[in-house]
Chain A
Amino acid sequence: MSETQRTLTQNPLEKTWVPWMKSRLSQRRGSSVPQFTNSPTMIVMVGLPARGKTYISKKLTRYLNWIGVTTKVFNVGQYRRDATRSYNSFEFFRPDNAEAMKIRKACALTALKDVWDYFTREEGQVVVFDATNTTAERREVILNFAKENGYKVFFVESICDDPEIIAENIKQVKLSSPDYMNCDKEEAVADFLKRIDCYKLTYVPLDDNKDRRVPLNLSYIKIFNVGSRYLVNRVQDHIQSRIVYYLMNIHVTPRSIYLCRHGESELNLLGRIGGDSGLSARGAQFASALGAYMREQSIRDLKVWTSHMKRTIQTAEALGVQYEQWKALNEIDAGVCEEMTYEEIQKSHPEEFALRDQNKYRYRYPKGESYEDLVQRLEPVIMELERQENVLVICHQAVMRCLLAYFLDKSADELPYLKCPLHTVLKLTPVAYGCKVESVFLNIEAVNTHRERPENVDVDRDPAEALETVPDHI
């Protein structure tokens, strides 16, 4: 047992305590949340065409990346499009089309090779392997590949026999696919249905009792009819448990999510960050305007959420409806810099100010929080937003950036610089594989609180360079 206690030193950016061991300082030992993935994990989609596999793949990937688990989708259909150049008809997918079968298998193998690259060279943690994977034979190829490389495998099978859902799927995402660029609607639909039939002939659902010689002990979730029922088998670890929880909470019912900040506050006017001040006169006007706007939207059963801070609650009060207060929606805690102007921060904490500009996502205020911390804090909000339907979230600048980044799939680098001006409502409506955004400025003037990243982020820069991008205030 070693007697020497390694001296702890505090990483100046994230404020995490790490043992000083020569160059180990740069090793990220502490982050807001423990790193739970040891072995890389492959999430393997299973299901006939038009069962929502790509929808699930993209959404899950977006979620995992947002919570800090580096994830990437590999869509085998995309590889096929790259390999064959032009799509002719469903005949390509006939099980007796030997030439096509060769190509399709080669595409899958190429995709697997890229998966290997992603795990090994790019240090990815999770891969979503998006393909039909409808035969036991294809799944065995994947399982062997994973076994050889020490990857965990978790299957996600989507089973649906509701013709309406399938028709809607085809309409939303297939008609606009590159495969059907030069077809009219009816042709495309007819061809796609025949394509599905090709797969049906050889489809063997996961863990089918008929075929059980030796139990495979697979880890999987089967999703029936867009989530009315789930079968979950052998969840191995934390990340799989989180994935199951997420998949069980998402839905496809059409709805809209409205994001906005509180009305302009007293501290906003003074160019001060944080605090718990009330609305300015213009802020109160915005609150009324927000009420009018929401009434115009005529939404049934709208949920309204605020933080615990006075300015969001005052804004909600003007709507005249019930609202829920979430502490988790509170603005980022600026610690020792609470209620300071940027000029004051530059004066009293020039190094901190520079570090923040160097890496605004990971930078944690002394005795405060980082954007990275915020994301962890907001995860339950996102989960509940997924469960809900129409929701208006009245929050704060940094918080709104985090939520927006989730819906619009923005990276950690982009997130802290997303534009979320006061008195502007963002209406998000899920469509196809993504999110439509409408930005509605409610025509009440407000101070600008958006500070761009300055050119010079070095610790030794001049105060003038640091304060170049500070927006005007009283």
Chain B
Amino acid sequence: MKHRSPSDQHHGKRPRVPIPTAAASFSPQDGMEDKPPTNPRELTQNPLKKIWMPCKNGLPEKHISQRKVCMTNCPTLIVTVGLPARGKTYISKKLTRYLNWIGVPTREFNVGQYRREFVKIYKSFEFFRPDNEEGLKIRRQCASAALNDVRQYLTEDGGQVAVFDATNTTRERRHTIIQFAEQNGFKVFFVESVCEDPDVIQENIVQVKLGSPDYTNCNTEEAVEDFMKRIKCYENSYETLDEVLDRDLSYIKIMDVGQRYLVNRVLDHIQSRIVYYLMNIHITPRSIYLCRHGESELNVKGRIGGDSGLTARGKEFAKKLNQFIQAQNISDLKVWTSQMKRTIQTAEALNVPYEQWKVLNEIDAGVCEEMMYEEIQDHYPLEFALRDQDKYRYRYPKGESYEDLVQRLEPVIMELERQENVLVICHQAVMRCLLAYFLDKTAEELPYLKCPLHTVLKLTPVAYGCKVESICLNVDAVNTHREKPENVEVSRMSEEALLTVPAHQ
């Protein structure tokens, strides 16, 4: 059988390979029981992701070739449970951010948001009184509307996980949701947050409730008082997930902000990952510092990758970094580097113990390692164009893609969640991936995030997100940021391709 080499296929305008969807034309077989042998299909290598896929007549067949294990077959509905101010929305947003980052399309649906859109003006806690018929009707409608949107997202819009963020404090309400899920073929996983510590609840209210649209026209005391009464409205009818009554449900009950967890009937891979993630996050105030190594020899030459040492300016940066860190006066700072010389040299200037992570190494540019962009354009113009077409998914020949990087970095993110104050000295592509996680950037934005040399980003979790302070340590360095050029066609001229290459020696 003639085997088509990858280069045969790149003539003229070839449509970009479609991203395989779950509903492929390839019919899944249910096991290896007595199926007659079929002729092995030919393979072709997807030019963007460098993934081998079966093909017919030189064109790839729609095939579920995934970079890793398929996490979910049926979509999953995560349902939060808990009194107000127990961190449900915090957890929902964080979990959604994490799942999207690792590549599981996830969206949160906050019923309170639906209520605000419907009711327009919030008057007082009276709306939430259990005997307020009008209020109850509206709240039920909002929950239905939200569930409708969930159905749309999971069945038509390509979503895999939906997070249904509401109090869901009665068994009756939860039963409605379970029925809805069953009708639509969704798996349900409950996340309950239980907390009786008044300090924690108070801090919650201060951090996220006072700034809520509900309380724009109230002063602090009024707002707090009203909110406490609101919580009271839910307390009497609150039915916590019960070990016996709810023993057939899949859930995690988080108690006292993560000191204690009860985990029941984890059904599949995605639920297992969600449990692991939820058990590793915390809310202790801390800061994460991200920066790149000091300017390297290859940086100034405009060459990518490699394992070179610091330039004089790079060493200067390392010293300034030391001064900066000392001035920050951080208790118990952990310092992490990659295993490449330039990050380690940078860390050495801090005179503190540091951990080397191989997974923090810069993206592997494969055959393009240590090349200048001009040389890549010269030797591999097709590759250069493909990269501009989809920088996130593009994999260097014998190298990696940003998508691979994210997978590689997941244990780093998990450990960052566990830790408190950490300084991560890494590389441009790596820093972009980490930053995208903290700032909830999409796959499209991620590879173009600005992470210049000699600049420290200080990330401090606040409310539902992350505050970013950018500190330039005032040591000159070459610019290594290449913007997406206008023309990304394979047929473009060299000049067009090299338009956005930053200056170098």
Contact = CB atoms under 8 A, between A and B. Distances in A.
Interface of A: 1-2, 5-6, 8, 10, 15-17, 19, 29-35, 228-235, 238, 241, 244-245, 248-249, 276, 278, 284, 287-288, 291-292, 294-295, 297-302, 305, 308-310, 313-314, 317-322, 324-328, 338, 367, 373, 376, 384, 387
A17 B307 CA distance: 11
A245 B415 CA distance: 13
A248 B26 contact: no
Nearest to B64: A322
Contact of B265 (A35, A228, A328): A228
B259 A233 contact: yes
A16 B356 contact: yes
Contacts of B398: 276, 338
A295 B32 contact: yes
B264 interface: yes
A34 B33 contact: no
A8 B344 contact: yes
Nearest to A299: B32
A248 B32 contact: no
A295 B66 CA distance: 24
Contacts of A233: 259-261
Given A32-B358, A295-B33, A310 B262 contact: no
Nearest to B28: A322
A327 B356 contact: no
Given A1-B351, A19-B348, A248-B272, A230 B68 contact: no
A318 B262 contact: no
6 contacts: A229-B243, A229-B262, A229-B265, A308-B52, A322-B26, A387-B269
B34 A295 contact: yes
Contacts of B407: 327
Contact of A314 (B37, B43, B318): B43
A33 B357 contact: yes
B460 interface: no
Interface string B361-392: 00000000100000000000000000000000
Given A16-B356, A33-B358, A295-B34, A325 B65 contact: yes
A185 B423 CA distance: 61
A77 B276 CA distance: 33
A74 B124 CA distance: 62
B260 A234 contact: yes
Given A8-B345, A313-B43, A248 B266 contact: yes
A166 to B, nearest CB: 20
A247 B50 CA distance: 36
Given A230-B263, A299-B31, A373 B41 contact: no
Contacts of A276: 398
A248 B68 CA distance: 21
Q: Which interface class (under 10, 10 to 19, 20 to 34, 35 or more) fits B? A: 35 or more
Interface string B247-281: 10000000000011111111001001001100110
Residue from A30, A31, A228 with most neighbouring chain B CB atoms (10 Å): A30
Contacts of B309: 8
Contacts of B26: 322
A207 B51 CA distance: 52
Contact of B30 (A2, A249, A301): A301
Contacts of A1: 322, 326, 351
Contacts of B265: 228-229
B129 to A, nearest CB: 35
Contacts of A2: 351
B41 A317 contact: yes
Interface centre among B33, B52, B307, B359 (most CB of A within 10 A): B52
Contacts of A16: 339, 356
A228 B264 contact: yes
A310 B43 CA distance: 8
A245 B276 contact: yes
Nearest to B412: A34
Contacts of B275: 248
A301 B262 CA distance: 30
Given A313-B43, A317-B43, A367-B307, 18 more contacts: A15-B339, A17-B339, A17-B340, A30-B356, A35-B355, A229-B263, A232-B262, A248-B272, A278-B43, A284-B40, A299-B33, A308-B50, A308-B51, A318-B37, A321-B29, A322-B64, A324-B69, A387-B272
A278 B262 contact: no
A225 B51 CA distance: 42
Interface in B34-48: 34-35, 37-38, 40-41, 43, 45
Contact of B67 (A232, A321, A325): A325
B261 A232 contact: yes
B3 interface: yes
B147 to A, nearest CB: 28
A324 B66 contact: yes
Contacts of A278: 3, 43
A244 B51 contact: no
